[in-house]
Amino acid sequence: MNEQMEDIGPGEGIRLAGVADAEVMARLFVQLGYGDEPGRLVADLLAMEPGRQVLVSENLHGVTGGLVLHLLRPLHLAPGWALISALVVDEEARGQGWGAALLAAAEQVAREAGCGQIELSSSPHRERAHHFYQQQGYREKPTRFVKSLLSQ
């Protein structure tokens, strides 16, 4: 994927996140209800985990949103699939098309990687997000089992 993926307008677009984006990504994650850890985010962005891409949307005023995409190659399935582990648009930029642009960019990356599907999860209380995902062509598949390994 090239660094500047999709142009929305002059000075606007979707690109790969860099270390300099860690602080704003931490602020965006706080808007989703996750901890504010810019130090850890810098380390993770520097680590460049294989199969993970972090995309950001931006306009002339700065970063408007972010998306974390994981490309998976399960041994038992072909083709692979993509998993979006986080998608957030800044509260002040919502409703302007940034979420749809980030999803479209992630789908493009997944297709180019040979993935046959893309999935994401969303907390039950995020009803507006659920409606948005359905508008983007995502369908609910409710069976999912999760076990925390941190509390044992």
Identify the pLDDT of residue 9: 53
Give per-10-residue mean pLDDT for the chain (152 aa): 48 87 88 75 76 94 95 86 94 93 96 93 86 92 83 66
CA angle in degrees (0–180, nearest 5) for 48-24-124: 90
Q: Structure pTM? A: 0.85
Q: How far is the C-alpha of 99 from the C-alpha of 115, rounded, in Å?
A: 21
Identify the pLDDT of residue 22: 86
Residues near 52 by Cβ (< 8 Å), separated by ≥ 6? 68, 69, 70, 71
Identify the pLDDT of residue 152: 62
Identify the pLDDT of residue 41: 72
**Of 5, 12, 33, the residue nearest 106 (C-alpha):** 5
What is the dihedral angle through the alpha carbons of 97, 107, 27, 62, rounded to the nearest 10 degrees? Answer: -50
Q: How far is the C-alpha of 104 from the C-alpha of 124, rounded, in Å?
A: 23
Identify the pLDDT of residue 2: 44
Locate 124 and state its tokens.
Answer: 């039950």
What's the burial of 41, exposed, middle or buried (CB within 10 Å: 0-12/13-18/19+)?
buried
